[in-house]
Amino acid sequence: MRGEERGPERQPELKDMVALWLLRLAKLGRRRFPDHEGEDEFYDHFFQEKDHRAYREDPRMVVRRNVVNSFLERHVSAGATVVDVGCGLGDVLAGIDSKYARFGVEISRRSARVAARGLGEGTRVVRGQANRLPFAPEKVDVCLCLEVLEHLKDEESALREVHRVLRRGGWLIASVPYTYYWDDYLKLIGHYRHYTRRSFQLILERAGFGVERFLPNYPEWHQAFTRRYAVARGLHLVTRPVLGQATVYELRWPWSDQTILEAVRRRLEPKRRLEEEKEKDYTSADTSTFVAARKRTT
């Protein structure tokens, strides 16, 4: 079962090893995933209030929100019910137009409380599990499930539950990691598996969905930014006692009016745009694990 949980095997490359070490650096001092049953407690600590700014300002999160919002604008009518399954701190919901009825479902009591407080009365956030959604059958127009399925021991039961609550022809917008899977990912961030375009598509099809769009996830730009973010985080750890900047997102040199990460974003923006032009059709890319799928009616 362990190999099946991880997903399709391939030989790791240097970039996969670099990604693992960057993750280890990013998670220094964070709680490890428990060996015993205790996922609820782990996810209560997985997102912290200090992460609010990171999820709001990190260019990788901003780009993902923009892709989601662009899809909703083109394909989903005003008044539709949008549910973010595994909404975390609510950063995606915060960016969704108020013309939609917005709901969040989150397993972590702490994250649900933080999200509800940040989103206000226009969005309802409830504590719940992905495989036991608090909605009647066929009452939801769109489900978002962004970087959630890899955290679930049984992702297919969650997909069947999403299928249950979606109306006929309703949309599932989902993303999962495409990088090589190391066993350390479970301890560091609670990932049971990673995916390829094909393996993800097959799982969705078994749950009753048909993939209609492969959405842009800019893998080269994303990896380039992540490497530079790791350098900036190391620099922040070293300079914080001197510069007094609380988070890496505030890190700037005293002579500059621009944060280091904003400078990185601007420097890499041409790379993202070039990748956007080069990869207009994501259907053949193995890294295409950001999809819009539709509930099949037969």
Of 12-16, 133-137, 286-290, least confident by mean pLDDT is 12-16
CA dist 200 and 290 (Å) reads 9
Q: Mean pLDDT over residues 224-236, rounded? A: 89
Q: What is the pLDDT of residues 78-123, one digit of tens each?
A: 999 999 999 998 999 999 999 999 999 999 888 898 889 888 888 9
Phi (first) and psi of residue 20, to 5 degrees = -65, -45
CATH 3.40.50.150 fits 2-12+28-216+283-295, yes or no: yes
Q: What percent of the chain has pLDDT over 90?
A: 57
Q: Name the pLDDT band for 5 (thresholds 50, 70, 90).
A: very low
Delimit the domains of the chain by residue range.
2-12+28-216+283-295, 221-278
pTM: 0.89
Contact 203, 150 (CB under 8 A): no
Q: What is the pLDDT of residues 66-75, one digit of tens each?
A: 999 999 999 9
| CA separation, residue 44 to residues 85, 113, 145, 250, 259 (Å) | 16, 10, 19, 25, 30
Q: What is the pLDDT of residue 3?
A: 38
